[in-house]
Amino acid sequence: MEENGSPQRLRGNEGYNRLNTLEMENQGNATTTGEYVAQYFFDVQQQMESACQAIDWDRVFMTAFVTISLFLILSALFFPFFKSQLVAERKSQHEFVLDSLTISEFQASPAQVTGKCDVLLNISNLGDRSLYHENAVLTIFLDHELLWVIRTGDFFLEVGSKIMFNVSTNTTTVSVPASFVPTALLESQKIHRPLHFKLKYDGMLREGMDAWHVERSHVYVVCGWIKMQFVSDSTLMGGPASCSLENF
């Protein structure tokens, strides 16, 4: 029995030893793999740190600063030029000409002036976009003294079209206390001396009536000086006169 049992115990020991050997090999392989992964990430980190240290950040920031500064300087230099080009292009799209200005039913007293104004403007669209004028106001001056303020209607101009735009007021009395206007008008009426009037058009403009693109801007037009004379005891007439677009 002892002889038969001894080989069995030996075989059992050999199996146990083999199992221990396999476990140790597996543990060794796991340890080797873990060390390899750790070493890989360590090497990557070291390379990134080396790359960051190799970059001259002072030079990078200085280059960025110089580039931004040059861009701002060039923008400041060329922006007025581009803006003037844009304004010139817009001005070339519009043409205003004062055909006539008539003031009828005229009366003057030392502090008041009464009259009915009738303005006829020739307005053309010379550009390549349709125009819609709205919310405009006409102001009429004798020399630099404001006399009448007239709100106009809206109007539409197709590309290449022109209209005769008429604006009229009812007889209106305006107060001009401590002004030279009544005296100047009465003297002109008496000795037929011409007077110099000025008309200003101030309104909003929509360019392009497409649903997907409408550009809005302000239009300011000055017509004058308009040389006017009495053609009867109660009527002054003047025109034509050139007009200029002062700004957008």
User: For 144-170, what is the mean pLDDT?
Assistant: 93
125 neighbors 149 (Cβ within 8 angstroms): no
Least confident of 24-33, 41-50, 52-61, 152-161: 24-33
Secondary structure (3-state) at 154? coil
Q: Which residue has the higher pLDDT, 216 or 194?
A: 194
The per-residue pLDDT for 94 is 82
> What would the pLDDT profile of 195-219 be if each residue is shown by its tens digit?
999 999 999 998 876 545 678 889 9
157 neighbors 133 (Cβ within 8 angstroms): yes
User: Which residues neighbour 190 within 8 Å (Cβ) at sequence distance 6 or greater?
Assistant: none
**Which phi and psi (to 5°) does residue 3 adopt?**
-65, -40
Secondary structure (3-state) at 177? coil
Secondary structure (3-state) at 77? helix
Question: Residue 140: is its pLDDT beyond 50?
Answer: yes
CA–CA distance, 198 with 146 (Å, rounded to integer): 9
Question: Residue 29: is its pLDDT beyond 70?
Answer: no
Domain boundaries, the chain: 2-89, 94-247
227 neighbors 194 (Cβ within 8 angstroms): yes
The per-residue pLDDT for 113 is 92
CA–CA distance, 23 with 155 (Å, rounded to integer): 96
**Which phi and psi (to 5°) does residue 125 adopt?**
-110, 105
